[in-house]
Amino acid sequence: MLIIPAENTVNWKRPPWITLGLMLTCLLVFLFYQGGDSRKIEQAVGQYLNSDLRSLEAPAYEDYLQRQIRFEGAEDRIHELQQFQELREADEPFWLAVSLLMDRDFYRYLQNNQQVIWAPADRARWAEQRRSIEENFIQKLSSFQLGLVPAELSLYNLITYQFLHGGWGHIIGNLVFLFLLGFTVEKALGAGRFLVAYLICGALSGLVFTAFSAGSYMPLVGASGSISGLMGMYVAIYGLQKIRFFYFLGVYFNYFRAPALAMLPVWLGKEIYDYWFAGATGIATWRTRAVWSPARAWCGCLVAAGCRCEKSFSSPRKTSRMPVLPLATPRPWPVWGAWSLSWPAISSKPCGSTTRTGPFCLSTCISWPSYARICPSTGTGPGS
């Protein structure tokens, strides 16, 4: 099932260069910079399995998850504990190693509690073998170099994490929504303001995530925060106004009209898909995501509220032409003949004037050659 906004079309004579540039950057980073991550993980797992680290860490990891659930109320980790126990019973060494290596909070737990967990001989063996894997492979992964780690927050990571992704399902979903929302918002705000607003939304989303995950060493990657901000800006532009959506269900597709706020449940559905099915790693737990996704969209609304829309951006509020309203010899204009004013001269444009109707502004700048009709029996217009 697919539901996407289809209110506007792309003007390829004036392409949305910033939107296309952001999409291309994310794709190139994923293909060329993150492309070596799989090989590094395979090498790390191979070295891990060749050592005796699994016999030392597997019992400690199961105890760690049980403590998280029992004493810290981390009920979202019950599923992780069940999966790990199933892997141990099925004797799946590869996925056991991946689970133990990629849980960064568990690694910090081992570092802080190794004197309690193991005897001195085991502790020395663990430190030597694990340090080699960390320095040669794990710390060189893209998500740990440029991802957003709440416990090690830095300003540049608030920007760089937006261009990393956790898998093909993750990046494809993000690029689709980036294009569908981005070209409209870019047209409304202008290229420069759009780029700044996009990056600010991503940075604010990262700060919100950090606030909910303070002290965590699990990296966050993905443009989902920035795109949630775009959704908020899109909704701020159109408000409760009904826009056109395209939906595809099996072999059937059609259009329907709904308020722009319908974007919120559609985006949340995409977030649920990423969490459960798309293989997107380095993403918040479901409990954090339930609060984080609306917060990210709200960041976009706030950013959009502080931006001024381009005067060339046309709102779709006007859906039908109004009849011509005749004005009989208006005064104090000179009486040059019978004037009539066409209603399309009054157009609804977002954020362009001082007279507001709902979330939009009425622009009443009238161009005489375009909108005023003059009876040919008299003069040529005011001031002639």
Model pLDDT for residues 310-366, shown as the tens digit of each residue = 555 555 444 444 444 444 444 444 433 333 333 333 333 334 433 333 333 333 333
The answer to whether the peptide bond before residue 376 is cis (omega within 30 degrees of 0) is no
Residue with tokens 């999966």: 83
Residues 6+ apart with CB under 8 A from 360: 239, 315, 317, 348, 349, 350, 351
Which range is least confidently modeled, 16-30, 49-63, 95-109, 296-310? 296-310
Give the residue from 75, 106, 140 where a domain finishes.
140
Burial 140-171 (b: 16+ CB within 10 A, else e): ebbbbebbbbbeeeeeebbbbbbbbbbbeebb
Whether residue 363 sits in one domain with residue 267: no
Whether residue 21 sits in one domain with residue 166: yes
Handedness of CA 223, 224, 228, 234 (dihedral sign): positive
Is 380 inside any structural domain?
no
Confidence of residue 265 (pLDDT cuts 50, 70, 90): confident
pLDDT tens, residue by residue, 191-215: 999 999 899 989 988 888 888 888 8
The residues facing 242 across adjacent strands are: 259
CB-CB contact of 174 with 26 (8 Å): yes
Whether residue 185 sits in one domain with residue 256: yes
Whether residue 155 sits in one domain with residue 16: yes
Whether residue 236 sits in one domain with residue 117: no
Range of the structural domain that residue 118 is part of: 51-140
Per-residue pLDDT averaged across 3-20, rounded? 84
Is 103 inside any structural domain?
yes
Residue 167 has pLDDT above 60, yes or no: yes
The reported pLDDT for the residue numbered 199 is 93
pLDDT tens, residue by residue, 69-78: 988 888 878 8
Residue with tokens 């991550």: 37
Is 124 inside any structural domain?
yes
Instruction: Give CA–CA dist 54/39, Å, rounded.
Output: 20
Whether residue 206 sits in one domain with residue 62: no
Is 39 inside any structural domain?
no
CB-CB contact of 143 with 282 (8 Å): yes
pLDDT tens, residue by residue, 110-159: 999 999 999 999 999 999 999 999 999 999 999 999 999 999 889 999 99
- Total domains in the chain come to 3
Which ranges of 16-52 does DSSP label H, i.e. alpha helix? 17-28, 37-50
Instruction: Give CA–CA dist 248/59, Å, rounded.
Output: 47
Whether residue 176 sits in one domain with residue 134: no
Is 30 inside any structural domain?
yes
Whether residue 240 sits in one domain with residue 198: yes
Instruction: Give CA–CA dist 260/37, Å, rounded.
Output: 39
Whether residue 288 sits in one domain with residue 162: yes
Instruction: Give CA–CA dist 74/65, Å, rounded.
Output: 9
The residues facing 148 across adjacent strands are: 220
pTM above 0.85, yes or no: no
- What share of the chain in percent tops pLDDT 70? 68
**Long-range Cβ contacts of 121-126 (<8 Å, 24+ apart):** 122/56, 125/52, 125/56, 126/53, 126/56, 126/57
Confidence of residue 276 (pLDDT cuts 50, 70, 90): low
Three-state secondary-structure class, residue 325: strand
Whether residue 279 sits in one domain with residue 180: yes
Whether residue 215 sits in one domain with residue 103: no
The reported pLDDT for the residue numbered 39 is 93
